[in-house]
Chain A
Amino acid sequence: MLPEPVLRARGLVKRFAAPAGPPIEVLAGAELTVRRGELVVIEGPSGSGKSTLLNVLGLLEDADAGEIRFGERTVSTLGRSAKSRERGRWLGFVFQSFLLLPGLTALDNVLLAARYTSGVDAELRRRAMALLERFGMAERRDHHPAQLSGGEQQRVAFCRAVLNDPPLLLADEPTGNLDDANGAVILESLRDRARSGGAVIVVSHRPDAARDADAVFTLAAGKLHPAATRRPSGAGTL
């Protein structure tokens, strides 16, 4: 019995206006299914549309066509605020440039994930502290992003992404601004996340990102092509 799909995307199309000539079609019918416990890696050359795909899958940007479902619910047709609520309920994000809020401390940046969903209570505060401690950041909880190194910022960003225990984690070049050691910490954390039952989609250039992945896809010509899979089911299916 296959685990339930967390994400199903069908026929995603995304075009951007060009300065001259016809629009550029970045996604041309991309399809993807990701199930609980799966780590899916998406590769592709720069400009192939990996980040756009992740933005569309994460409801950060609307597709021009196609359907996205979280679990059994079609979310691509929802209104702006409903999409925000679904993002808060289903997704965690790890961005290449961390995107921590400069005015908040490390702890408050982590807690930000709960501010707009469940609200911050003592239990969540304890959980945020435990996460920071697990990633060696407890001592830096009162530091602002500018006082942290890139690796430290990404660890804080990872804590923020998993605070609400979302079913799906989307990581866009999470190691792009990190040295090897810090990059390895983040990649291992993403693998752990999948091993503990969460679904993870990683867009990455790093060869070691695909290690232990359940499926690896290459985005080319606006579509996802399987590069490797070790899924017993052949899942991560297109």
Chain B
Amino acid sequence: MLTSLRRALRGYLFTIAGIAIGVAGIVALGAMAERIVRFIDGGDRFVLGQISVAGRGMGMGAGFTAGGLLPAAAIEAIRKVEGVAGVQPQVMLPLNPSTSQFMTLTQELVIGMDLSVPSPNRHYRTLPVQAGRFLREGDRRKAVVGASFAVSRRLAPGSRLELEGTAYEVVGVLERMLTAPDRFVVVAIQDAREQWVAKDRLLRTVLASGGVALRAQDLNTGAAVGWRDGADPDVVARRIRDQVAGVNVQIPSELSSLLRQSTAFFSALLVGIGLLAFVIGGLSLANTVAAAVFERIRDFGVKRALGATDWQLGREILAEALAVTLSGGALGVLLAMVLGLAIDGWARRSGQQLFLFSPRLLGGALVFSVLLGAAAAAYAALRIVRLSPAEAIRRGSAA
């Protein structure tokens, strides 16, 4: 059986190559779609895991807490709101203030965290570390960097990183999450506050004037707020908005919806491309398999003349088609991965990753190609066995 399959596969080399190219196209486009989906889902998961609060107004803070100053008193007031489980003061700054803040999800951000407070984000209690360690309470001048950030600057635990003229030791690199934290530099909030002052001339001027009574702990761009078990985060967020003056509160479900809307075009575009790839690739695959079976119509006529029953012939055609589509599918997956990884290798130098070859995509592409190949072969087999052996031989000899 195996020997005959090997022989059959030899005769189907061009068919396998044709299927491989079709499947490679499907997988490559699918991997790009997966990459975007992961990115959007990651952001969605993050914003749904916490209530993001910022000071009212427009400061230089960036990311989800973009807004004005959020003083310590406001944070204390938030802590007292019913349903709130934890508040972590944060400072979020664009690494490079001259960079457009239009695409906050793709921006490189410095995140200052108050390490004395556990992360209130229900979906990210800790950020997963790939190498080294995460920050501990008391760490100063130490940084944990996102995977893309690390690759683009060739950073590893032990590397030095200069931020606003100050040297930081990289103590950890986060796992690649394919979402916003891949471009984060996480530092202690005290360090982030120093960077903020260094970056913001207006703030320096205000502080130097002594006209405003600001303490270090007042320098927060926002806070991540958690809620008690069983509480509705949207209700808690609205309660904060109603009860605490001078804050911008993001309602988690509204922020999620906003995020989805802002990426809806890309999602729709990718779904469209993916569907087109599946339809075109699928039709091409089905046509290739059916054509390959019909091409051998004379051989099947001879086999029937020699005594092959419908069942024997159908089984043989199906087995060959399965072997061919599975080989072509696997080759296509491999081809797409080789190409994708090569392109990603090039893109990674600038901290990008364009493809995500998820198991569900690879498995789905293989199952799709095998099922479609089997369906096409079954159709061809049904057509062939309905012919008399003499007619099959005649048609095959005439072709």
Question: CB distance B7 to A104 under 8 Å?
Answer: yes
Complex formed: what's the CA distance from A123 to B359 in Å?
48
Complex formed: what's the CA distance from A20 to B308 in Å?
36
Q: Is B156 an interface residue (CB 8 A)?
A: no
Complex formed: what's the CA distance from A49 to B373 in Å?
40
Asked if A99 meets B302 with Cβ closer than 8 Å, knowing A61-B390, A61-B391, A62-B388, the reply is: yes
Q: Is B299 an interface residue (CB 8 A)?
A: yes
Binds A, one of B41-49, B53-61, B309-317: B309-317
Complex formed: what's the CA distance from A108 to B307 in Å?
16
Question: CB distance B307 to A84 under 8 Å?
Answer: yes
Chain A 137-164 near chain B by CB (<8 Å), digits 1 or 0: 0000000000000000000000010000
Asked if A112 meets B306 with Cβ closer than 8 Å, knowing A80-B385, A81-B311, A104-B7, the reply is: yes
Contact of A116 among B11, B308, B390, B393 (CB under 8 A): B308
Question: Which residues of A lie under 8 Å from residue B299 when comparing CB positions?
Answer: 101-103
Q: Is A85 an interface residue (CB 8 A)?
A: yes
Contact of B305 among A58, A80, A89 (CB under 8 A): A58
Q: Is B35 an interface residue (CB 8 A)?
A: no
Question: CB distance B306 to A103 under 8 Å?
Answer: no
A9 to chain B, nearest CB (A): 16
Complex formed: what's the CA distance from A84 to B388 in Å?
10
Contact of A84 among B10, B302, B304, B390 (CB under 8 A): B304
**Which residues of chain A (64-115) have a CB below 8 Å from chain B?**
80-81, 84-85, 87-89, 93, 95, 97, 99, 101-104, 108, 112-113, 115
Q: Is A117 an interface residue (CB 8 A)?
A: yes
A72 to chain B, nearest CB (A): 20
Q: Is B183 an interface residue (CB 8 A)?
A: no
Chain A 51-65 near chain B by CB (<8 Å), digits 1 or 0: 000010010111000
Question: Which residues of B lie under 8 Å from residue A61 when comparing CB positions?
Answer: 388-391
Question: Which residues of A lie under 8 Å from residue B7 when comparing CB positions?
Answer: 103-104, 108
Question: CB distance B390 to A85 under 8 Å?
Answer: no
Q: Is B193 an interface residue (CB 8 A)?
A: no
Asked if A89 meets B307 with Cβ closer than 8 Å, knowing A101-B299, A101-B302, A104-B7, the reply is: yes
Question: CB distance B298 to A116 under 8 Å?
Answer: no
Question: CB distance B306 to A87 under 8 Å?
Answer: yes
Complex formed: what's the CA distance from A150 to B7 in Å?
23
**Which residues of chain B (67-123) have a CB below 8 Å from chain A?**
none
Contact of B308 among A62, A84, A97, A99 (CB under 8 A): A84
Asked if A112 meets B393 with Cβ closer than 8 Å, knowing A81-B311, A84-B308, the reply is: no
Complex formed: what's the CA distance from A115 to B306 in Å?
9
Chain B 22-43 near chain A by CB (<8 Å), digits 1 or 0: 0000000000000000000000
Question: CB distance A60 to B308 under 8 Å?
Answer: no
Question: Which residues of A lie under 8 Å from residue B397 when comparing CB positions?
Answer: 97
A154 to chain B, nearest CB (A): 14
Complex formed: what's the CA distance from A81 to B303 in Å?
12
Question: CB distance A81 to B306 under 8 Å?
Answer: no
Question: CB distance B310 to A80 under 8 Å?
Answer: yes
Question: Which residues of A lie under 8 Å from residue B304 when comparing CB positions?
Answer: 84, 87
Contact of B306 among A62, A97, A113 (CB under 8 A): A113
Question: CB distance B388 to A116 under 8 Å?
Answer: no
Q: Which residue of B lies closest to A104 (CB)?
A: B7
Q: Which residue of A lies closest to B304 (CB)?
A: A84
Complex formed: what's the CA distance from A59 to B311 in Å?
18
Between A and B, 28 residue pairs with Cβ closer than 8 Å are A60-B389, A61-B388, A61-B389, A62-B388, A84-B307, A84-B308, A84-B309, A85-B307, A87-B306, A87-B307, A88-B307, A93-B306, A95-B393, A97-B397, A99-B298, A99-B393, A101-B302, A103-B299, A104-B7, A108-B7, A112-B303, A112-B306, A113-B307, A115-B306, A115-B308, A116-B308, A117-B307, A160-B306
Given A60-B393, A61-B389, A115-B306, 6 further pairs, Cβ under 8 A: A85-B307, A87-B304, A95-B393, A103-B299, A112-B302, A117-B306
